[in-house]
Amino acid sequence: MELYADWHTHTTYSDGRGTPEEVVAAAARRGLDEVAITDHGPRGMFIGVKEAGVFLKLKKEAVRLSGKYPVRVLVGAEANVIGMSGELDLPREVIEELDIVIAGLHPQVWCVPWWKTVTWILPNQVGRAFPRVRERMRRVNTVALVEAVRRNPLTFVSHPNLMMAVDLDAVAAACAETGCAMEINAGHHYDRDAVVRAALRRGVPLVVNSDAHFPATVGEQAEGAALLEKHGVSPEQVLNARS
């Protein structure tokens, strides 16, 4: 399966190690047609952008870089889901300016209201070592992610079921309603077969990305593409594949 774009990369504006220009240059070297810079939303603990206005600054930088390299440069954000009603850590006026809107669950975020950080995020951290706690949090996490899908104009959800457990079928059902895609993240190892199966059952679009935090791994998506081929997914169902 031929992928023409990588829509999930991080730069020094959040927790990535390369500048936007280094990411774009790497995408050009890989021969990608398109790359999206998608730094973490501002409520990520130690990993987020300093403030939401960074994304607007990146838009100007993207125009300059698109002119300099043979790659179309998009600007997106990997927003954090920070509340049970699917709230994201970006204001609407910033979301509306983005080319790619990603929502993801991460166990390092400051929630609204703040005490949810203690009652929701902390047990998820604990759950990484204790399967029973992990299972108990699955229901709560699912509600938050499903609401995020329903209430926001998302392009895709990042790495569903990584770090914070969710009911993949419920997430897929919500995605099927809104047209939101589910990501196969080539940068992390988790049960990605289950994500593909849930998407196939519900007819949800998929997208394969590197989640590169280093310029060297931009466009490293082969593992994800191979997984989709193994499951017989047609390129028509994959947003960043050439049919």
Please report, as ranges, the residues that interact with Zn ion according to CB under 5 A.
Answer: 78, 104, 158, 211
CB of 236 to Zn ion, least distance (A): 26
Cα distance between residue 221 and residue 186, in whole Å: 5
Pick the closer one to Zn ion by CB: 108 or 237: 108
Q: What tokens does 228 get?
A: 């989709």
CB of 9 to Zn ion, least distance (A): 8
Cα distance between residue 148 and residue 103, in whole Å: 7
Pick the closer one to Zn ion by CB: 63 or 194: 194
- Nearest partner of 89 among 138, 162, 144, 166, judged by Cα: 144
CB of 169 to Zn ion, least distance (A): 21
Residues 6+ apart with CB under 8 A from 81: 87, 88, 103, 104, 105, 109, 144, 145, 148
Pick the closer one to Zn ion by CB: 1 or 47: 47
Greatest pairwise CA separation for the chain in angstroms: 52
Across the beta sheet with 156-157, the strand order is: 5-6, 34-40, 72-80, 100-104, 156-157, 181-185, 206-209
CB of 158 to Zn ion, least distance (A): 5
Pick the closer one to Zn ion by CB: 9 or 142: 9
Cβ 104 vs Cβ 78: under 8 Å: yes
Pick the closer one to Zn ion by CB: 158 or 237: 158
CB of 168 to Zn ion, least distance (A): 16
Cβ 152 vs Cβ 103: under 8 Å: yes
